Amino acid sequence: MSTASLKSKAYEELFEKVNMLIFGVRVSDETAAATDAGITVKEGGTAAPGKAALPFVMRTPSGFNVIIKRVEKSEYALEYSEGKFIITKNGHQLFSDILFEPRPRYYNLNTTDGKPMREIGMLLTDGCVEVWYSNECAFKERNEECMFCGINTRPQDTFLKTSRQLAEVAKAAFDEGVARRVDFTGGVIAERREIEYYCDAIEAIRDALGGREIISSACVAAPRDFTNISRLKEAGFTNITINMEIWDENIFKTICPGKERTVGRDRWVEALSYASDVFGFGHIRCNFVTGIEPKHKTLEGIERLAAIGVVGNPNLFSPAPGTPLEGTRCPTPEWNMDLQQKAYAVMRKHGLTFEQVKTAHAETNGIHHDIWRIENEILPIFHNDSEESIEDHRWRNVIHV
């Protein structure tokens, strides 16, 4: 098959992925149990009471990773047939040989103070140990939380993971050979306390890893004192994430009232520019929630930031239950594909490389990441000896029941 034909096939498959991300996938309890999630396969979030665990992500034949969103009435379904997992659409087979990611061994371990390691640091698909350090949110305390944010619907018993716990989990994951980076995210807490926590945590992790060079990223609200950005770099972080979520200044005020009142949109943009000077071109990420503001506004923000070396990440809008935007529709798959393709073109135009885009993200399961893979011809369908093919072989070693 020609390269052009392979690209066309890949884009057709990617469009189905976008549909599954928007509309979800039906999964019966029997199929969920057959995946072996939580045993040999890495599980996703906590399953509903009485429901079998689901894999965190599934891999399609061309090599696209699809985070599983369980929706009972979706036209897509994950099924188990003749010893293989398949995806059907309206009852007809769409993809065969669906793969799942192996469960890391450290998920079975506890920290020295008895906490399950899988609850301290979750392993993402790209080998990132992601730490949700706290579910505390200073904006929510003032009823100024971002209107789309799912953290606001989670149990409000606040927690804070200790530096010792994080160091033990990171060492276990790196010693096992499944981790290559550590990323921090969570709710918004007072900036001085947040920065001090991050600095203490990365120092403990680096000590535990014995000086091994690692990629590490801190997700922070734009600080009022920009020297706090420099402190993160000095502490050992290689990347930083400062999420605006919305570019349009008026919509930003409505959707992100806490960010507007506490810091302000213009100051947020200034913080990203300062971070680019400190961390370097391609080492900063800014997430955007797509579909809340007009498409051209999101693309305007991605272009403005790409010009200074900030990777604008267009996240697919998925209205979370319990938030003020619950029930709001995500734009159509066609709308999202168009935005993602234009975002890819903007980043490439301004000199960002896929390596920089990957390094700026904890996980590269996004739509524009897959467009990079298609256009760079690095999916398994293009080269049998590619990095993705090696990873694909690892996934095939999963044992299904």
Residue 190 has what pLDDT?
60
Residue 50: which domain range?
26-102
- Whole-structure pTM value: 0.92
Report how far residue 67's alpha carbon sits from residue 56's, in angstroms, rounded to the nearest whole number: 6
Instruction: Report the domain count for the chain.
Output: 2
φ/ψ (deg, to 5) at 225: -100, 105
- 268 in the same domain as 188: yes
Report how far residue 224's alpha carbon sits from residue 273's, in angstroms, rounded to the nearest whole number: 14
Report how far residue 234's alpha carbon sits from residue 229's, in angstroms, rounded to the nearest whole number: 9
- Closest among 133, 73, 62 to 95, alpha carbons compared: 62
- 132 in the same domain as 97: no
Cβ contact 149:323 at 8 Å: yes
- 218 in the same domain as 71: no
Longest dimension (CA), the chain: 60
Edge-first strand order for the sheet with 84-89 is: 26-27, 76-81, 84-89, 92-95
User: Could you read off the pLDDT tens digit of each residue along the chain, which spans 401 residues?
Assistant: 899 999 999 999 999 999 999 999 999 999 999 999 999 999 985 455 557 899 999 999 999 999 999 999 999 999 998 899 999 999 999 999 999 999 999 999 999 999 999 999 999 999 999 998 877 777 877 788 888 887 756 555 556 789 999 999 999 999 999 999 999 987 777 666 788 889 999 999 999 999 788 999 999 989 889 999 999 999 999 999 999 999 999 999 999 999 998 889 999 999 999 999 999 999 999 999 999 999 999 999 999 999 999 999 999 998 778 888 988 999 999 999 999 999 999 999 999 999 999 999 999 999 999 999 999 999 988 875 444 443 444 554 444 43
**Is 401 within the bounds of a domain?**
no
Residue 386 has what pLDDT?
46
**Is 206 within the bounds of a domain?**
yes
- 141 in the same domain as 240: yes
Cβ contact 119:172 at 8 Å: no
Report how far residue 268's alpha carbon sits from residue 146's, in angstroms, rounded to the nearest whole number: 15
